[in-house]
Every structure is written in C-alpha cells, then in structure tokens.
Amino acid sequence: MNRLVITVLGIVAAVGGSALVFIGINKLFDLTEERYPQYTAIAGGLLSGGVFALLWGNRMIDSPVLVTVIAIVIGAALGYALGIFEPSTQRLAVGIGGGAALGLLLGIFAQGPTTDGETEITGILPSIDPVGIIVGILIGAGLGFLIWVLTGRKADRLLSRMALGLALGWLLGAWMAAELTGSRAEVLIVAVILGGLVGAAVGGRTHPDRVRRADISLGSRKYIFLTPALVFVGATLVIPLLRTIWLGFLTGNPNDLRWTGLSNYADIFSDPGIISFGKAGDIIGSRLFWVAVLLLVIGTVVGRVLGRRVGTGFSVNSGSLSLLGGGAILFGFAVFTAVRGTIPNNLWWIFSVIIFAVSLGLAVAVLADRARGENIAKSLIFLPMAISFVGASVIWRLIYVARPPQDPQTGVFNSLWIMFGEWSNSTTAKTIVASVLGLIIVALLYLAWRGWQAEANAVAAGSIAIILVLGWLAYRFLGPGLGGFEINEATGDVVAKPVLFIQEAPWNNFWLMVVFIWIQTGFAMVIFSAAIKAVPEDLLEAARIDGATESQTFWRVTVPQIFPTIGVVVTTLIVQTLKIFDIPKVMTNGNFDTQVLANEMWERAFTQLNFGLGSAVAVVLFVAVLPVMAINIRRMQRERLG
Amino acid sequence: MTTTATKTTEGVLTARRPLGKRIYRFLRSIPTWFLWILVILWTVPTFSLFVNSFRTRDAQRASGFWNALSDNANGYDFPTLDNYRDVLFPDVGAGVGNALLNSASIAIVATIIPIAIAAFAAYAFAWIDFRGREWLFIATVALLAVPSQVALIPLLSAYSNGVAWTIPVLEKTVTLFPDMDLSGEIPSVWLTHTGFAMPFAIFLLHNYIAGLPKDLFESAAIDGADHFKVFWRLVLPLSVPVLAAFAIFQFLWTWNDYLIALTMIGGNRANLPGTIVVASLAGEFGAREHLLTAGAFVITIGPLIVFFLLQRFFVRGITAGSVKG
C-alpha cells in the first residue's frame, strides 16, 4: 500500500510537479515584456519567500509559517513597487525601505538559543564585533567594485553593485564570522542593515526599458531550460566525482576520515589480489602461448604470400585475419591466465568482450544483411540485450551447472562435454567421429585447392584455418581423448569428470565473460547492421563492376566505410566492460579468482566500510575511462566545432 | 553476400565439372548456416530457462531441460506452475511479487523524470543560442563514459546523512542538502537514476531535436512564438519517436538495474527490486535453487514484452548517434 502511494506520488510529482514548475516559470518570464510590475511582484514574493523557507529549513527562524507568509507579502509589495517606480531616488528609497522591512522581520524572528528535546540549538544571534565588521565592509567594498568592473563598468550600475558587495561583506563580517552569542538588539541591527543593503542593491538598478525587458525575457530561457538537467548532472555526477577523488586520499572509518596521501593507491597496486606477476614466468611453459605464436606466424606468412599474389604488401582477408585473430586471442588468453589479479581480470574482460562481441556482431550483421529471415535472426541475437545481467547470470548458471560425476548432468555444457568423453572412450564412436572429421577435412582441402586455383584467396586461407582446428580435434579424439572423463587407475573404469565452469580458476573468468558477450553481441550487431545499411550502394556497385569479389568488396569497401562505427562500438564496449559488476557479483561474488574492479570497489566501500580505499579503486576505474572520454570529446569537437 | 563470388568462380568451375560445382556451392553456403547456428546458440539459454521454470524441483535436479517432455513418464509433473506460485507470493516462498512492485515503482518514475528534464536541456543545447553552448554540451555528454562507481559513496552518504559544508575560515556549517533519511528508500534510487541518465538522454534527444528542420523554427519565430511555445507546441510533438526510444531504453535500464538499487536501498528488504531478490536467491545454494528459474523468468518477462512490442524504438535508441547516416 505504502509502496503504491509512494509510486503514485512519485509519478504525480515527476509529471505534474516538474511540468507545473517548468510551465509556471516560463509563464512568469513571459510577463516581463507586457506586464512588468506583475513579474517583479511575483518574483519578489517567490524570492523572499524562498529565502525565508531556506532559513526555516536550516532552523534559523522561529514560527516559520507566519514569517514566511509575511516575507512573501513584503517581497511581493517591494517587487510591485519597483516594477512601477521609475525615478532612481524613489526606487532607491523603496528598495532600502522594503529590504529593511524584511531585515526587521528576520531580526525579530531569528532563532535564539534554545533546546529541542535533547539537542541544543545555538541560534543565530550574532554578537557585534567591530573588527569583523570593518574587515567585512572592506572586503565587501572591494568585492562590489570588482563585480562592477567585471560586469562592464556601467556608471548607472555602480551604486547597485557596491551595495551588493557591501551586503555580502556585511553578512560575512557582521554575522557569519561573529560569535553566535549576541542579543536580540544586536541581531535586529545587523539584520536591518543587511536588509537595507540588499534592498539598495535591488532598488539601485534603473527601471528597465522595453528593450531590456525583452532581453530579460529571452535571456532567461536558457537558464530555465538548462538548470534542471545541470543541477542533476552536478549533484549526482560532477560533485560526487570530485568528492570521490578527495576521499581517495583519506583513510579510516566513515565517521573519522584522516588524510593519508597516496597510501590507498600504494595499497591497491601492492596487493597481490589486485595485480600479481608472480606466475608470469609460466607463460613460457604454456602450450597456449606457443600455439598462439605459431598461429600468428602462419597468419603473417599467409597474409604476406596472398598479398604478394595480389600485389599489396599484406592481404587483409578472412583467411589471414582469422589466423591472426585466433593467434591474438590465444596470446591474450595465455597472458591473462598467467598474470592474475583484479586488474588483469578487468583487462581480460575488455580483451575478450571486444574481440568476440565485435567479431560475432559484425559477422551476424554481414551474414544477416538481406538474407532470408534477417529480422528474425537479428531479433533473436538481439534479445539478450533486454535481459538483466542478473537474469542472464541465472540463465547461464543453468548452462554451466556441474552435478556430481555419478549423477546425470543437467547443464548443457557438461552434458556435451561428458558425452564427448564417452565417445572418445568408445571405439565405434571414435571411428565414426574421426571419419566424419576426416571427410570434412578432405572436403575443405579440396575447397582450399579450388579456391587457390580460382584466386579466391580468402576461401583458401579460411579453409586452411578451419582444417587446422578440425585436425587438432581429430588428433585429440584419436590420441589422448577429448571430453570430461578420467580413468580410475585401480579398476581401469572410465569415470565422468564434469568441469566446474564457475569455480575452476582462471578459466572461470572466461565463462563469466561469455555471459556478457552473449548480451553485447546483439548491441554490436544492431549498430553494425545500421552502419552496413548506410554504406552507399553505388560504392559497392562500383567495386563489383571493377570485378572485386564479394570478399574483397567487404574488406576493401564496407569495412573502411564502417570503420568509425567500429570505433564507437569498441569505445562503448570498453566503458561497459570496465564497470562490469552484476555478473561477477551474482555468479561468484568475486570468489574463485574472478574479482573485478567494480566489485572490488563495492566490497571495500560498502562491505568493509573503507571509504578511502573504495574511492581509490573507483578513481582507478575513472582514470581508466579517461582515454575513452578524450576520444569521445575529440570526436564531438570535430563534429560540432568543425 | 555470396552471389557475386559464386558467379565469378562458378563461371570457371561450371565449364569443367558439374559435381565440383555442386560441392563448391554447398561449401560456400556454410556462412549462412553459421548465422543460423549462432541464432540457435543464442536462443538456447533463454529457452532452457523458460522450460525449466515449468519443471518441478526434483525434475530440474534429475535431468536437463531437453528431457522436459519425458518428465511425466518419469513421474514428475510437467508443466507445473508451482515454481511461479512459490516465487511470487510471500507467504509461501521468496516474495518476488512484492519486489516486482518495487521494480515497477523504480522503473516508471525513473523513466519519466529524466525524459522531461533532458528534453528541456536538449532543446536548449539545440536551439537556444548562448555563449559556451558547444563546450557545455560536450562537457555534459562526455560524462557518458564516467562509471557510476565513482559517484556511489558520496551519493549514499548524502542520502543517509545529508550534505553539510563547513565554511573553512569561519567554522560555520551550512546544510546544502537536508538529511531526509532517503537511504533505503525508493526515491533515492529515482534521483540517482535521473542524474546518471542525463548525459545519455541529453545526447540522444539532442541528436534528434537538433536535426529538426530549421525552417520550422524560423517560421515559428516569425509568427511570434517564443522558445517555450516552440518547445511545447512544436518540438515535443515532433520528438515523440525519440522520446519513446529513450523511454524504452531507460525503462529497461532501470528495471534491470542491480548496482544502484543494491547500493542505495541495501538492507531494506521491503524496498528491494526484483533483480536483487532473485540474485539473493542465487546466492543461497541448494534449498530454493529451483525457484531461481521461475524468479529469473518473472523479472525477465516484462523487459521481453517491451522488447518484442517496441523493438523498433529500442533499436533506434541504441543506434542513434553512433552511425552517421
């Protein structure tokens, strides 16, 4: 019930409230040109009412409702009078009088020292201190003169600017700097003078003519339209960001933060859980690493040879790229399984998500383009974008689940994996699989040969790339065996051996990334698809007429055309992946070596209540997105400023 | 994409050997299969969740979702709605029903507020001339890349304790934001989402509003319409498609959000949205694991419906601005 009320209230406040305020303020400034006195009256009432309401909110005045109402009335009357009177002496007199009246009101009702239940309230009665006042007046005079100089040195504004500066100085010197132990008489003097000075600042301005009033009406709009958004941006992003940077230099519990310099950052980068090169040497001994190097070498050779055939230095096509890409992926994985910790994990996430989401998204966008069932295919690939990370994590837990070896597996992955294991231990299955693979390899060899003959280099190199993978599979099947099994040494029985996808480090990291890739491929695909459809048809036509194959058209025309879009997708994915939180939180909560920076930050700040260290981790995240921000800013500058 | 390539190579091959041509063509169609294999791979996970949510706890533990059709033969009830009953109603089980109301409360309001506010700002950035407009716009939109983590700690302490500032030399404390006990309450999530949504919302709406034809604004100005009238009568009605796109985007974002609600609402169980309640079910291994499927499906079905009905707008929201057409 309560929730329903609060929701309805929220909706009403959001729609009605913001619309009313917005329309109201616009209407108010519509008055300036034709009905100036009404405008000044309403503005005066709202301003003085607002100031007194603020004082009330800060417990600085007694009997708040009455005082606020009187303040609104005086403010409105003052505003109306200033809207009518044109001679400057009259305006000054009215301004000082009205301001002094408001000051008197404040002085009479200013909160004195009292107690409210347990809490003591000091009140705001200042004890007059000549030194403070003199310093205040001097500062105020300087300030007023400075404002006057800065706002264009118009002679008719000197009086009003000086009064404004003096009012500020008086407020500082006589009130805010004073001991709050004064008497009612003292507060009356201080408040009346303050009010008079503010009134003089308002009344000291000349009555605006039609042109100025039109300027006010027009000039107000930018503030009216922008202020709400900028207030939200400032209050929830900019100021908290600055505060977080500051908190990163502090340490201690949230109620007692002390300056500690850079020690939070020193802690982060010396924590072996966050980054550790301890096992980096293992990389030389890892098979993954050498396979990666091999693939990179073959890819380079293929690219060079094909490039020489077509007369360019290096041929970019699906064959050379799939070899180089495969090599790069394995190389990256070799590095990230050796260098462990939160930061390498984050980098690994970025690496995998970009490579897989971009390449799969691009592949789907290209393959689906104008294919039969394009919309269905794209919808289904895109669908995970609508699912929450929490929902996706639950879904993939079902896929990854590992049951005890003797039970039937209920997860798709382990089921398949154990099935492979059974196959590679049964002679019949082994023979069938090996012959099927062999047939495919032969067919691919033939394809490669034909492709080579027909100068379709991409076909040739692509086939060879697939042959390498299938050949390796066939070897595993026939040789050491493939799949989830182990052989009981005592009895010689074959026992199922499920993979603990979520628990076994370091590869569990990759299985978590798969969830995110599953989601983000749709994002990449949608954007690439739009970009591909935006490639001018005549460009493609021209390439075809010149005799380019479809593959050449793709790599030489389409890809360069959509290159800026690839940049946008990559930068967006970097940002999205860098702050990945939900998936590790739900699936492992950072256990089993799957910690990432965002979860590290959350744990430090909100579980251990170490705001300093949590903020420092957040700042590390922020620094990591700075290059992306710089790229985005450059791009927008080019687009908007030319 | 295969048409031309097959044509050229076909030309060479046909002359020689029809069988080779057929094999060649068959192999060249592999990429199209690859598309549909990917589509199936992408759909299986969601489908398996859907199927499992209708199976009993024991059936879920005994076999994979592909065995669902033989459940009845194995003595399990299929399809059953028990999981849904247990997960939705608080007296029996997890109380996700209550959490769904919270999700709705968060998502609806946190969608409406940013639309209005961002539309004002986008209009100002597009059609009101003032000094420093370009820079202010770039600075605002650049914040798009800022990870929300950097704002969480100060925001949470502002919601729970208010914001007070002690003026350095004078040693007087001024309250900038009153302590309204917002932490643990839904409005704190509204405010946070609104602020975080601003850069993207302004960016998206601005792209569209700035692209409206200039003549429109000139003729309106000649007719004596001021900014407010132009915005209200002209820009808002014309921007409905992009407002819808942003609304859908923001609705899915806030409905699916986990981090912000977890931080701002935290321990206040009564106010937690669906994502957190379901995630906490995932945290407790064993006992109520079978409810996870139904729970996850319940929190997913809303977004899925929105997605299927309004996919066009959603796609527009995502692609706008990233592709120069």
Instruction: Reply yes or no on whether the pLDDT at B189 is more than 90.
Output: yes
pLDDT of residue A601: 95
Question: What b/e sequence results for A135-144 when a residue is b if at least 16 CB atoms lie within 10 Å of its CB, and e otherwise?
Answer: bbbebbeebb
Q: What is the arithmetic mean of pLDDT over A436-456? A: 84
Residues 6+ apart with CB under 8 A from A451: A457, A458, A459, A460, A463, B9
Q: How confident is the model at residue B323 (pLDDT cuts 50, 70, 90)?
A: very low
| Residue of chain B with shortest Cα separation from A562 | B323
Residues 6+ apart with CB under 8 A from A242: none
Residues B76 and B152 in one domain: no
Asked if B155's CB is within 8 angstroms of A379's CB, the reply is no
Helix-helix angle B149-161:B186-209, to 10 degrees: 130
Q: What is the arithmetic mean of pLDDT over B127-156? A: 91
Instruction: Name the region of B103 (left: φ>0; alpha: ψ -120 to 50; beta: rest).
Output: alpha
Q: What is the arithmetic mean of pLDDT over B313-317? A: 78
Residues B30 and B124 in one domain: no
pLDDT of residue B11: 43
- Is the separation of the CB atoms in A571 and A629 below 8 Å? no
pTM of the prediction?
0.87
pLDDT of residue B3: 40
Residues B243 and B211 in one domain: yes
pLDDT of residue B324: 40
Per the domain annotation, does B104 fall within a domain? yes
**Residue B71's domain spans which residues?**
53-88
Residues B262 and B154 in one domain: yes
pLDDT of residue B183: 82
Residues B120 and B29 in one domain: no
Q: How confident is the model at residue A244 (pLDDT cuts 50, 70, 90)?
A: very high
Instruction: Name the region of B212 (left: φ>0; alpha: ψ -120 to 50; beta: rest).
Output: beta
Q: What is the CA radius of gyration of chain A?
A: 36
Most B CBs within 10 A among A5, A11, A27, A237, hence the mutation to make, goes to A237
pLDDT of residue B17: 54
- Could you count the other beta carbons within 10 Å of the beta carbon of residue B4? 18
- Is the separation of the CB atoms in B286 and B272 below 8 Å? no
Across all residues in chain A, what is the average pLDDT? 87
Give SS3 for B164: strand
Q: How confident is the model at residue B143 (pLDDT cuts 50, 70, 90)?
A: very high
Asked if B296's CB is within 8 angstroms of A550's CB, the reply is no
Q: How many domains does chain B have?
A: 3
pLDDT of residue A2: 67
Q: Is the ipTM of this complex over 0.85?
A: yes
pLDDT (tens digit, 9 = 90+) per residue, B51-98?
Answer: 999 998 888 888 888 888 888 888 888 888 888 888 887 655 567 888
Rounded Cα gap, residues B119 and B205, in angstroms: 6
Instruction: Reply yes or no on whether the pLDDT at B29 is more than 80.
Output: no
Rounded Cα gap, residues B198 and B214, in angstroms: 25
- Is the separation of the CB atoms in B49 and A398 below 8 Å? yes
Query: What residue spans in chain A does CATH classification 1.10.3720.10 cover?
Result: 280-641
> Which A residues 178-197 touch B at CB under 8 Å?
none
- The helix (H) or strand (E) run that includes residue A590 is none
Residues B70 and B130 in one domain: no
**B126: distance to nearest CA of chain A, Å?**
11
Give SS3 for A87: coil
Asked if B170's CB is within 8 angstroms of A549's CB, the reply is no
Helix-helix angle A158-170:A184-203, to 10 degrees: 160
- The helix (H) or strand (E) run that includes residue B175 is strand B173-177
pLDDT (tens digit, 9 = 90+) per residue, A312-355?
Answer: 777 777 677 778 888 899 999 998 888 888 999 999 999 999 99
pLDDT (tens digit, 9 = 90+) per residue, B202-250?
Answer: 999 998 898 888 888 889 888 888 888 899 889 999 999 899 989 988 9
pLDDT of residue A119: 74
pLDDT of residue A303: 81
Parallel, antiparallel, or unpaired for β A250-251 and A119-121? Answer: unpaired
Q: Distance of CA B181 to CAs A2, A119, B11, B159, B163, Å?
A: 16, 18, 77, 6, 12
Rounded Cα gap, residues B71 and B65, in angstroms: 10
Q: What one-letter code names the amino acid at A574?
A: I
Rounded Cα gap, residues B275 and B131, in angstroms: 44
Instruction: Reply yes or no on whether the pLDDT at A609 is more than 80.
Output: yes
- The helix (H) or strand (E) run that includes residue B165 is strand B163-166
Q: How confident is the model at residue B322 (pLDDT cuts 50, 70, 90)?
A: low
Residues B129 and B269 in one domain: yes
Residues B30 and B163 in one domain: no
Instruction: Reply yes or no on whether the pLDDT at B20 is more than 70.
Output: no
- The helix (H) or strand (E) run that includes residue A120 is strand A119-121
Most A CBs within 10 A among B102, B149, B156, hence the mutation to make, goes to B149
Q: DSSP letter string over B47-116?
A: HHHHHHTTS-HHHHHHS-GGGGGGTTTTT--SS--HHHHHHH-TTTS--HHHHHHHHHHHHHHHHHHHHH
Rounded Cα gap, residues A562 and A549, in angstroms: 19
pLDDT of residue B5: 41
Residues B266 and B191 in one domain: yes
Residues B117 and B184 in one domain: yes
pLDDT of residue B290: 78
Per the domain annotation, does B7 fall within a domain? yes
pLDDT of residue B8: 43
Asked if B256's CB is within 8 angstroms of A393's CB, the reply is no
Task: Tell which CATH classification among 3.40.309.10, 1.10.3720.10, 1.10.3210.10, 1.10.10.10 matches the domain A280-641.
Answer: 1.10.3720.10
Per the domain annotation, does B67 fall within a domain? yes
pLDDT of residue A346: 94
CATH number where B118 lies: 1.10.3720.10
pLDDT (tens digit, 9 = 90+) per residue, A144-194?
Answer: 999 888 888 887 788 888 899 999 999 888 888 888 888 888 889 989 999
Per the domain annotation, does B325 fall within a domain? no
